[in-house]
A and B are shown apart, each in its own frame.
Chain A
Amino acid sequence: MNRRLAGICTIAVVLLAGAGYVGWTVWRQRPASAATGGLDPARSGTLLYVDEAAGDRRVGQVAPGGEAATGDLRCLRMYSAGGTTICLRALTVPAGFEALLLDRNLAKIRTVRVDGTPSRARVSASGRLVAWTVFRSGDSYDPGRFSTTAGIYDTADRKLYGSLEDFTLTVDGAPYDRPDVNFWGVTFAADDRTFYATLGSAGRTWLLRGDLRTRTLTAIHENAECPAVSPDGTRVAYKKRGAGGAWRLHVLDLASGQEVALAETANVDDQAVWFDPTTVGYATTPAGARHPAVFAVPADGSGAPRLVRPDASSPAPLT
């Protein structure tokens, strides 16, 4: 009887302690009273990002030299362009993740359930096309490896491309049909039809050019992941795996096929963005820091990385 009572009391203490700890965490994370809810995805010249400092992953906005503000939106990964915002976030019932699409007033356009851990997000410059990548482990052909799904949504046609797997794929001029293909890291050209993405298969990666209308994908370059096409559509920035296994950002000139390594020498595992026609941005965790930070580096391989925003990820420069 005593043992039973002792058991009940101990379990009650553990329950209370656990609930108290979670409750305290939620309370501690209340947004700082100043400057919330003021996000404006139509305000050009500013940067939207996911704030990494507080731990609740709120989306923040900052103008050059201005004060930063955070809103109520909380995302694992986000992007915004042309007034359209995509926010990849967790959802409780059914347990999983979703892509939340918002218009220029941050009103919901729709949500898309995505099956896997959010990884990349992108919106075309006009705000019409939206893309995301999620990854899963455990269901790939190769036990212990991952698989990815890249999806696209057309906000004008309300058309959902749940994955790219039914697109016609060409590698080295020949149809490519292997069951282990994975697609990730979509980026859109200005025509809202052409896009670039990564193909992974048989331990190799390729830069793909895709066409939404003909539903085709063509490999144009090898060893290139998570592309970001430049505003003028002439160059693509991507991460390229080096000999030691680390990724380094490179920029490919699509007309000449010339590839240059950018000045950032640290490992960068991110889908880059273009701040302007000559500057590439990305997030990486600086040595010794606890959180990632947003950096910018010249797109021609010159110069050095410059810190844009500490404790931030998912940079989305609004133009």
Chain B
Amino acid sequence: MYLATSRSASPTTPGGAGPARVSGTVVGLGLVSFFTDASSELVAAFLPVYLLYGLGIGYLQFGVLDGLYTGATAVLRLAGGHLADRTARPRAVALFGYGLSAVTKLGFPLVGGSVAGIGGLLAADRAGKGIRTAPRDAMITAASPRAALGRAFGVHRALDTAGALLGPLLAFALLAGIGSAYDAVFGTSFCLALIGVLILFFFVRVDPPAPVTMAPPGTGAGDPAVTWPGADGGVPAVARPGAGQGDPAARRGGAPARPRVTLRGSLALLRNVALRRVAGCALLLGLATAGDAFLFVTLAERSGIGGNALSLMPLGTAATFLLAAIPVGRLADRLGRWRVFLAGQALLVAGYALLAGPLTGWALLPVVLGLHGLYYAATDGVLMAHVGALLPPELRSTGLALVQTGQALARMAAAVAFGALAQGWALRPAFTVFAAALLVATVASAVVHRTTDREYA
């Protein structure tokens, strides 16, 4: 039945070139993320050497900086999301976020060895990331047919991950090639970030072209899922089969009488039962997620390869994520995004259970890293695709930011809890506890929020 709906939607894909086309906006945003991630991962990989050999800053101070780097800029996510909705200019807000991160790369040679200066630059870089994330995901949602949101996010995340893989390679190529010419490394990073900003500025359009090209006949004129602001606790179940295209109503300029977005109005988002449930589930699942670093350390120990390949492990996860993001996104469009999201959580439970279990040996490596990469492919973009379809267009950035912030804060708390558990006990029992907790959270999420995404498709 769902398949039939999905097929009936596919002929409405723009360009009439079959169902496989992803909007240029999504590819553009993917390239923006590709260059931006390459830029920031380049600096992240290079920073320890720079601090130690360029500035002579010891490990302990580096620890403090590292804490700042990953520290809480979560509130800025919400601010960025709200601002994007309030001004109805997600692209402008995203441009500011990307621009801010780009400019920080030029700051490093200027602040020199000042620990406070470097900390401030790292915080500003993170702030830029916080500000831009929700508006960007909202733009991806707006530019994609609802039935193919999973694929759209899959394309974006694949490009994003490819950039993250390229960054460290560039960093070490520069280090090996030109030693400690630190300015050239920061210059390269800045150029990459600037290219990202320029792609966003010149090539990513959010304003819809005339309906002739973008909204073929048969597309619903309004936003199908939105019964807003009549959020009388209603399930956002407005089944409008055939509403394949994104939401032309969400545009500034063309759309008549766009609702005004206020802080109070944004708070009303919380009255949306489905969003509340999804955000709550994401929070709960986040609280049962051990940090990646712990997974890699334990895997190194259990697989017997030792600590000397630790830094290569994230590559295994990222490569799996990169390869699986698009197919899993398409699968999510077909089977239901919430279902695939929960299946992804189940894969992580399996990974934790393997680490907690009695098995040892190198064979654990591909299995656990594969599960971990698939978990990312099935959850990261897929959750945003699911949430994006739940939200009224004028509050999309705010809603996405809400879910992301809750998830991020929960994960930070969970990492601290896991660290305490592992320190007082050991890594394996800590993973037993987290596997059980994550399983409970996954089952609870499946019970609390039942949906096949059909109603949003």
Contact = CB atoms under 8 A, between A and B. Distances in A.
A11 B184 contact: no
A138 B295 CA distance: 12
Contacts of A285: 56
Contacts of B198: 7, 10-11, 14
A176 interface: no
Interface string A96-109: 10000000000000
A20 to B, nearest CB: 10
Contact of A113 (B188, B308, B415): B308
B52 interface: yes
A163 B306 contact: yes
A137 B312 CA distance: 14
A163 B309 CA distance: 12
Contacts of B187: 18, 21-22
A22 B310 contact: no
Contact of A92 (B64, B66, B176, B419): B176
A270 to B, nearest CB: 9
A91 B119 CA distance: 27
A25 B173 CA distance: 14
Contact of B311 (A26, A89, A90, A136): A136
B426 interface: yes
Interface stretch (B164-172, B206-214, B256-264, B375-383): B164-172
A144 interface: yes
Contact of A4 (B70, B182, B202, B307): B202
A6 interface: yes
Interface in B35-88: 45, 48-49, 52-53, 56, 58-60, 62-64, 66-67, 70
Interface stretch (A114-122, A188-196, A249-257): A114-122
A204 to B, nearest CB: 13
Contacts of A76: 49, 53
A92 B46 CA distance: 12
B184 A21 contact: yes
A146 B59 contact: yes
Interface in B390-404: none
Nearest to B301: A165
Nearest to B44: A138
Contacts of B419: 141-143
Contacts of B291: 143
A4 B203 contact: yes
A91 B172 CA distance: 6
A142 B419 CA distance: 6
Contacts of B422: 141, 179
Contacts of B436: none
Q: How large is the interface on B (under 10, 10 to 19, 20 to 34, 35 or more residues)?
A: 35 or more
Contact of A7 (B171, B203, B306, B315): B203
A115 B180 contact: no
A90 B49 contact: yes
Contacts, number: 162
B186 to A, nearest CB: 10
Interface string B124-164: 00000000000000000000000000000000000000000
Contacts of B70: 143-144
Nearest to A54: B179
Nearest to B191: A18
Contact of B176 (A3, A91, A116, A137): A91
B181 interface: yes
B201 interface: yes
A56 interface: yes
A15 interface: yes
Contacts of A144: 63-64, 66-67, 70
B423 A179 contact: yes
Nearest to B55: A285
Interface in B285-330: 291, 293-294, 296-297, 306-312, 315
Contacts of A8: 202
Given A11-B195, A18-B187, A143-B415, A138 B66 contact: yes
A55 interface: yes
Given A57-B53, A115-B312, 11 more contacts: A11-B202, A15-B191, A25-B183, A93-B169, A113-B309, A116-B310, A136-B310, A139-B310, A144-B66, A146-B62, A179-B426
5 pairs of A and B residues whose beta carbons are closest in the complex: A7-B202, A144-B67, A18-B191, A90-B175, A56-B179
Interface of A: 3-4, 6-8, 10-11, 14-15, 17-18, 21-22, 25-26, 29, 55-58, 74, 76, 89-96, 113-117, 119, 135-139, 141-146, 148-149, 151, 162-163, 165, 179-180, 269, 285, 292
21 contacts: A3-B202, A6-B202, A11-B198, A18-B190, A18-B192, A22-B174, A22-B188, A25-B181, A29-B178, A57-B179, A92-B173, A92-B177, A95-B45, A95-B168, A96-B312, A115-B310, A136-B310, A143-B291, A143-B419, A146-B62, A292-B56
